[in-house]
Structure 1
Amino acid sequence: MNTKEKEFFIRLGVKIRKLREEKEYEQKAFAFDCDIGRTQLYMIESGKTNPRLLTLMKIAQGLDVSISELLNIGK
């Protein structure tokens, strides 16, 4: 990953964590509800991985936001 990609995934992870915490979802339970692994969710929220589109769709659905809203993280 180059620097811009790393920065994007860090901002994406921060946004996902913020939205999850605003809805008062615990990480482990939220991951279970979205049918993804807790470690996988941790890695996404930490910006340490490039999540697949299907995973992002599950997270967006779990947060009750559109995928475009989820990915709209600015610069």
Structure 2
Amino acid sequence: MNTKEEKYFQKLGAKIKQLREEKGIDQKAFAFDCEIGRTQLYMIENGRTNPRLLTLMKIADGLEIPVSQLLEI
């Protein structure tokens, strides 16, 4: 990943974490509800991975927002 991509994924991860915390859901429970691994969610929230579209769809569904809103950063 180049620097621009890294910054984007860091911002995306921070947004996911913020929205999850605003709902008062801990990381383990949220990952379970979204049917993704807790480690995978941790990596996404810390901007260390490029999440697949299906994963982003699951996260957006768990946050009860459209994927488009999730990607607006």
Question: TM-score band, normalised by the shorter chain?
Answer: over 0.9
How far the C-alpha of 1:23 sits from its partner, in A, is 0.2
How far the C-alpha of 1:8 sits from its partner, in A, is 0.2
Q: What are structure 2's unaligned runs of at least 5 residues?
A: none
Matches within 5 A, 1:33-48: 33-48=33-48
Q: Which amino acid aligns with 2:44?
A: I
How far the C-alpha of 1:5 sits from its partner, in A, is 0.2
Aligned to 2:27: 27
Aligned to 1:57: 57
Aligned to 2:9: 9
Aligned to 2:68: 68
Number of residue equivalences: 73
How far the C-alpha of 1:22 sits from its partner, in A, is 0.1
User: 4+ residue runs of structure 1 moved beyond 3 angstroms?
Assistant: none
Distance in 2 between residues matched to 1:56 and 1:25, nearest whole Å: 17
TM-score of the two chains, using structure 1 as the length reference: 0.97
Distance in 2 between residues matched to 1:48 and 1:26, nearest whole Å: 19
CA offset digits 1:2-55 (Å, max 9, x no partner): 000000000000000000000001100000000000000000000000000000
Q: Which amino acid aligns with 1:11?
A: K
Q: What are structure 1's unaligned runs of at least 5 residues?
A: none
Distance in 2 between residues matched to 1:26 and 1:7, nearest whole Å: 24
